[in-house]
Amino acid sequence: MLDVIQGLESFLAWPTPLFMALGVLLGMLFGFLPGLGGVQALALATPLTFGMLPNQAMAMLIGIMGAVPFGGSISAILINTPGTPQNAATTFDGYPLARQGKAGLALGASASASVLGAIVGALVLVALMPLGRQIVLAFSYPEYFMLAVMGLSVIAVVSQGSMWKGLAAGLFGLLICMIGYDPVTGAVRYTFGLDYLYDGIKLVPALIGLFAISEALELMLKNKSFGGDEKISSTGGLGEGIMSVFHNFWLFLRCSVLGFIVGVIPGVGGSVSNFVAYGHAVQTTTKNPHFGQGDIRGVIAPQSSDTAKDGGAMVPTIVFGIPGSVETAVLLGALILHGLQPGPKLMLEEPAIVYVMVYALVASNILAGLLGLFGAKYLARLTDMPSALLAPVIFSLAIMGAYATEGILGDVFVALVFGVLGYCMREFGFNRVPMVIALVLGAMLQQTYHQTIMSMGAQGFFVRPISLGLFAITVLMLIIPVIKNRRAREGGIPA
């Protein structure tokens, strides 16, 4: 208890809150701009913390990390461009809501879900910190593989229209993941002699192309109105959006816990948790589901999971000094820079710093949510722009974002190719969601498959309790919708 109080005193000691607020502003900016994100913001800010006290430096860096998810959701909702790969699932329903003139509703739900998800993640983090060692060591290659399979099974749940088209899009995404070096064997595949393709197709430029550039092409070539025929006040609905989380509280809570659990597993990241949470929302919703068409629950699920996963990622970071995500890997470097030893020693020698990080994680999400809510009525006016003006803005941001990722011209060409591909998929009725899921999870799937086979053999997938349990959950995820549809048809209710 003394450590908790000392941590709070250290966090509130001026100017620590000011540095956290600066981190929040930087995190929201980098989250909003396509192609950038928490990693780039943390890498940029870490040298700036040199000379600060450790509590000030950690508050600023955690402030960045906490604000990025909501910042990324703003561009995902307003311009169909996930600010970070973790926000890809938010576009599925957030952007359709904006197209209907309900951007304020979506932004309110995103802010509320992000803040409350971070609080849940922090509470679970504090509660489970003593058990962190057992949790982290319980996962190995088979569990990672089954998590990827579970995420891919979401394709069957979220495929709209033709199931075969959804599966075809997913398989095509998996084929794209095969380009470049095999992550385990080192074999070179489908590079066609291009050095750029040796590292495979990069996720961020591909996502920018599939969502942002394809949308810009749609607006330009068809001269479509951004808001469609259902245009209503885009600046209203903030209060309704905030309350929607409480109206769907159990869904929010389940998705937050899912995000935390996946966040605990080192190296898995937020994209997996978001797709699993989104698939869970689609599958468990029976009352008037309109996922993919503007269902507010499709915003609540991934956003609550996205911020809760940061609390989970802190478990291996604090307990072992093992980065739970790419962002926490940069954070580990910052801890070492300030003379702090990540891992068990940190808990024993500097417990106050650990609680400063927990407080900063919660406070940064609250501040980001408040800033987003106060600015929502101005941000939502982006949707009132004529398509002739909005399309070039989206296209320019997309090209800049693709190049800013690593400063490589090849990333721009990838974004353009995937933009044309995304446009063609929309024209011919192919859902882009299955391809995105496959692109995000494909690398982890093939890598953990090889690692499991080489270390444990084929039986390794089914002899470990957690791996077997994840497999059983995946089977249930695929079977339950079939049972529901059959019962609906037998009862004379439309499926």
Domain coverage including residue 254: 2-489
Name the packing angle between helices 297-319 and 238-247 (round to 10°): 70
CA angle 274, 256, 88 (to 5 degrees): 20
How far from 472 is each of 167, 434, 467, CA to CA, in Å? Answer: 21, 22, 9
**Cis peptide upstream of residue 15 (ω within 30 degrees of 0):** yes
Whether residue 275 is contained in a domain is answered as yes
Tokens, residue 71? 């910042």
pLDDT at position 267, please?
Answer: 56
Inter-axis angle of helices 433-456 and 270-284, nearest 10:
120
pLDDT value of residue 420: 92
Largest Cα–Cα separation, the chain: 70
Q: Is the Cβ–Cβ distance between 203 and 440 less than 8 Å? A: yes
Residue 417, number of CB atoms within 10 A of its CB = 15
pLDDT of residue 365: 85
Q: Is residue 57 part of a domain?
A: yes
> What would the pLDDT profile of 152-180 be if each residue is shown by its tens digit?
776 766 555 567 787 888 889 888 988 88
Is residue 349 scored above 90 in pLDDT? no
pLDDT per position as a tens digit, 89-136: 888 888 888 888 888 888 888 888 888 888 888 888 777 766 655 666
Residue 337 maps to a domain: yes
Q: Has residue 213 been placed in a domain?
A: yes
Q: Does some domain include residue 494?
A: no
The SS3 assignment for 227 reads: coil
Can you read off the two tokens belonging to residue 467?
A: 């791996």
Please tell me the total count of domains within the chain. Answer: 1
Can you give the pTM of this predicted structure? 0.67
pLDDT band at 233 (very low <50, low <70, confident <90, very high): very low
Residue 82 CA to residue 79 CA, distance in Å, equals 8
Q: Is residue 495 part of a domain?
A: no
Higher-pLDDT residue of 227 and 23 is 23
SS3 per-residue string spanning 9-54 = HHHHCCCHHHHHHHHHHHHHHHHHCCCCCHHHHHHHHHHHHCCCCH
Cβ atoms within 10 A of the Cβ of 367, count? Answer: 23
Q: H or E element: which one contains 324?
A: none
User: What is the spatial distance between Cα 257 and Cα 384, in angstroms, rounded to a whole number?
Assistant: 36
3-state class percentages of the chain: helix first, strand second, coil last, to nearest 5: 80, 0, 20
**Residues 285-291: what's their mean pLDDT?**
73
Task: Using pLDDT thresholds of 50, 70 and 90, give the confidence band for residue 417.
Answer: very high
pLDDT at 229: 42
Is residue 180 within 8 A of residue 445, CB to CB? The reply is: no
- DSSP 3-state of 385: coil
Q: Per the domain annotation, does 72 fall within a domain?
A: yes
Statement: residue 405 has pLDDT above 80: no
Residue 322 lies in a domain: yes
* Residue appearing with tokens 């540095």: 19
Q: Is 312 exposed, middle or buried (0-12, 13-18, 19+ CB in 10 A)?
A: buried
Q: How far apart are CA 17 and CA 1, in angstroms?
A: 22
* Nearest Cα to Cα of residue 189 among 446, 453, 454: 446
Q: How far apart are CA 194 and CA 189, in angstroms?
A: 11
d(C-alpha 117, C-alpha 305), whole Å: 7
- Alpha helices (H) in 290-408, listed in sequence order: 297-319, 326-337, 344-349, 351-379, 387-404
Predicted confidence at residue 439, as pLDDT, reads 81
